[in-house]
Chain A
Amino acid sequence: MSTLRQFAATMGLVCMVGIAASAGSASAGQFDGVTVRFGTFGGKWRDIVDSYVTKPFEKEGGKIEYVLGQPANNMAKLIAARGQEPPFDLLETMDNFLPQLSAGNFTEKLDLTQLPNLSQLDKSMYDSGKVMIWITEEGIIYNRKKFAEAGIPAPKRYLDLADPRLKNKVSLPDISAGGAIPAIVGMSYEGGGSEADIGPGLEIVKKIAPANFWSSSSNLQTLLVNGDVWAAAAQAGNVQRLKDKVDLGIVFPPVAHGKGGVLKQGYLVKIKGAKNAQAIDWIINQFLTKPMQVAVLTEGGQVPVHKGALAELQANPEYSFLRLSAEDFAKMYSVDFSKVNEAAYVQRWNRTIGR
């Protein structure tokens, strides 16, 4: 009898453990079978997203499929698919595409109550249509050693790059590069123009007469490392990425309204017609976790938006060249894209600068 009791007790215990285990596993996969298509950049950024967003999402049973490409290419796919199933559910885009996304009614409202990590963002960084996830700070990067050897003072404004001692040593962004609009707008304000009048900016480009126009970060970074380029209009992340190889400094030239340097912002938007809204909200929220946001800078070279991440990184002297607080962001200029006509910019660029 005691053997029977022991046997029954053991079986009861086994059953209880089994029930507990199965109950635990049932709650772990809240996104079982869910696939979210995510339009984003490739390269190192994809690896960062993999580590800090995709893997946690996979632990919840879900899967992220990447539709890789520059925001312009992904925008073209979205426009072509208008009225049909979109090519992706969630899109990482940049500030200059927001007017187009809005005008084309391509996005869906976000349920901000499902994004608790928004509490770590400044209120200006999100609304019901979009959530900012990174910032780049655009200015002038320069090789401090080369400048010192040549006796050239650190540049303070874009026109300083027209110094004859910098002939064939300056690179500016090509009109197709992501950094083009911030640089053009910055130079336009410096020349007395604005977003609506880029003529003065293009005149400054002609005066600088750069050795080349960079079209991608990797292209510019190779030129900086080789010493072919001593100064470039580019974002501060290049200083971070090349810190072990080149002693780069960055300056943020005055732009407008007492502000210096230009901000470029990256956003996540939910695409209209996308399925699995809950999963998309979860993913957006995951982008705003502190580890992901710290990695945005430490691994990606871009500035995060999470207050806690910014505070942590601000305490690190390694990042003293960056502006890492809401107060600092307020001192930098954000492009007014309502006044930007990109097609006109390209035409004007081709006519004025040409090849």
Chain B
Amino acid sequence: MLHYRTRRRLFSTLVLIVAYVTLLSPIAFVMIASFDYGQRAYVVFPPDRFTLDSYWRIPMRYWDSLWISVRVALLCMLISCAIGIPAAIGIVRSNLPGKAALLAVFRAPMQIPAVVSGVAFLHLYYLIGPLLGLQFVGSFVGMVIAHVFAATPYVVGTLVSVLQRFNYELEEAALVLGASRWGTFRQVTLPMLKPGIFAGALYAFMISFAEVPISVFLAGSRMVTFPVEVFNSMLFDFEPSILAISSIVTILSLTLVWLSQWAVGLDKFVQVGGAD
């Protein structure tokens, strides 16, 4: 009979292996299947042959839409942080009445089904567009605004979690020792919030990059994000190059995560705990 600790370790390892396989097998499936080409209507797994044809034949429209998605996601991330960081600080640290209600308002977009948000933005843009003399539907700005609506709650939620566990005594110590309010914020508060800000920014980028239900309604002839391009292709017919471009996006994402670990340290995200 194995020792209790050995049994517990074996069980934990088994759970971890099952979790990894469950999470990673769809990605592995897509990447392996991307090396088969020639069949237009269905996925071939395991591949009948290994070829890079589906990579060489990726249509330009996927690269164009990928670039659009990256730009939209980057701008969405910046704006969401610009709104979410002060909002989170204000909600946690202020003495405003109805803070819980204010937090609920900031989190409301997470409760609304995305397709409902998409239709709402579509109608809103056609309502205010003529009044402002601007075209929002099918535009970069319109897409970013809608994505910011969807992504900001994740920034706010992440930072509220961090701020609620924040050790204020460190700030008080800095002030007592003669630091100015701005100096305290810059040298004490901000460094301690950095992991939370980074996590919130990463969430905002991911939410925007992967967004489909809202983007489907706001896409135009020159504004199609990558997930919408893939979605529209898959609805009509399967195309092997979708697997190839998806594999490339996966590798780029993993590279980004590795760079984040190297630059900031991902273990700090685990401590943060994410949005609750």
Which residues of A are interface residues toward B (Cβ below 8 A)? Answer: 37, 41-47, 65-70, 73, 76-77, 80-82, 84, 87-88, 216-218, 221-222, 224-225, 241-242, 244-245
Contact = CB atoms under 8 A, between A and B. Distances in A.
B232 interface: yes
User: Which residue of A44, A65, A67, A77 has the most chain B CB atoms within 10 A of its CB atom?
Assistant: A77
5 contacts: A46-B236, A68-B228, A69-B232, A81-B126, A84-B129
A87 B138 contact: yes
A217 B237 contact: yes
B56 interface: no
B178 interface: no
Given A65-B222, A68-B232, A242-B42, A77 B122 contact: yes
B216 A73 contact: yes
Contact of A216 (B122, B228, B234): B234
Interface string B213-229: 00011011110100011
Contacts of B129: 84
B27 interface: no
A87 B137 contact: yes
B8 to A, nearest CB: 39
What is the interface of chain A mostly: helix, strand, loop, or mixed? mixed
B139 to A, nearest CB: 12
Contacts of A46: 236
B141 to A, nearest CB: 16
Contact of B236 (A45, A81, A82, A84): A45
Interface in B38-67: 39-43, 59
B246 to A, nearest CB: 14
B42 A80 contact: no
Contacts of A82: 126
Nearest to B234: A218
B238 interface: yes
A67 B220 contact: yes
B235 A65 contact: no
B238 A218 contact: yes
Contact of B234 (A43, A65, A84, A241): A43
A80 B40 contact: no
Contacts of A47: 59
B31 interface: no
Interface in B77-134: 119, 122-123, 125-126, 129-130
B232 A43 contact: yes
Given A45-B236, A76-B122, A76-B217, 17 more contacts: A41-B235, A43-B233, A44-B236, A45-B237, A47-B59, A67-B219, A68-B228, A69-B232, A70-B235, A80-B123, A87-B138, A218-B238, A222-B238, A225-B41, A225-B42, A241-B40, A241-B237
B41 A221 contact: yes
Nearest to B127: A80
B36 interface: no
Contacts of B137: 77, 80-81, 87
Nearest to A246: B42
A245 B42 CA distance: 10
B46 to A, nearest CB: 12
B235 A43 contact: yes
